[in-house]
Structure 1
């Protein structure tokens, strides 16, 4: 019985441990709150896409932006928001995936009460992220 309990404890610990280290605290002006970024894999001569991990503290969010080549977000922990311009905000959970269509203005981040972590991949040859205005408190949902 002691072996089974130890195995279960290890399995639970392994499932709750981060997949990758948290990364560096972002210093850009394109977000609200604390966001940590880590490049997991950069583009090279064979693979023309990058993979990055983003970790958001509760309440943190990116500004409105778009990706010329689109982007895929794979949520690995927590609970977050995703919203496209002109559409309702969606709540996204660990284990879900969002496909941000090329050129579509959107934002994403953590909920007010939960952190969120995701892996993001996008084609590097299509161009860099285009940044727009800050997400307002009304858009985020903390002010009525």
Structure 2
């Protein structure tokens, strides 16, 4: 059953809107409560919590334009399936990338990075995170200079 699970989730991620009603498949969720780790407005919706069969979490994140997460590390890594809008992703020491719907980002274990919505676009993704390696480690804020240095 596990080999079939990931392709089905990936297919769902690519089809986050129904063609008939143009409504998201997954609701936005709730506005994040820990505002110490981001700037702007970000909605979170946890779709799966780890259990004895599947030791990973799946969540959606929806960003208002210009919203950004602080620099952070995922000890076990993370995969982001971009479902809406335009966003940014940057790993420490590398240039920032511009992200679009349909992009897949692999946040490598232990690598500091940040992600954000572009200034004039909503941005959303489905995140897959292995639970056995530990929780997100939050670092410093993304500076305005870092955010605005992304080459459009």
Q: TM-score, normalised by structure 1?
A: 0.88
Verify: 1:25 aligned to 2:35, yes or no: no
Structure exhibiting the larger radius of gyration computed from Cα positions: 1
Aligned to 1:97: 104
Aligned to 2:13: none
Aligned to 1:134: 141
Alignment root-mean-square deviation, CA: 1.5
Verify: 1:111 aligned to 2:111, yes or no: no
Matched position secondary structure for 2:132? helix
Aligned to 1:52: 59
Matched position secondary structure for 1:55? strand
Matched position secondary structure for 2:52? coil
The gaps in structure 2 that reach 5 residues or longer are 1-17
Q: CA deviation at 1:27?
A: 1.7
Residues in 1 aligned to 2:84 and 2:69: alpha-carbon distance in whole angstroms = 17
Q: What per-residue deviation string (whole Å, max 9, x for no partner) do you get for residues 47-84 of structure 1?
A: 00000000000000000001000000000111100000
Map residues 61-100 of structure 1 onto 2, 5 A cutoff.
Answer: 61-100=68-107
Residues in 2 aligned to 1:19 and 1:76: alpha-carbon distance in whole angstroms = 11
Residues in 1 aligned to 2:130 and 2:31: alpha-carbon distance in whole angstroms = 24
Matched position secondary structure for 1:38? strand
The gaps in structure 1 that reach 5 residues or longer are 1-10
Q: TM-score, normalised by structure 2?
A: 0.83
Matched position secondary structure for 1:58? coil
Matched position secondary structure for 1:68? coil
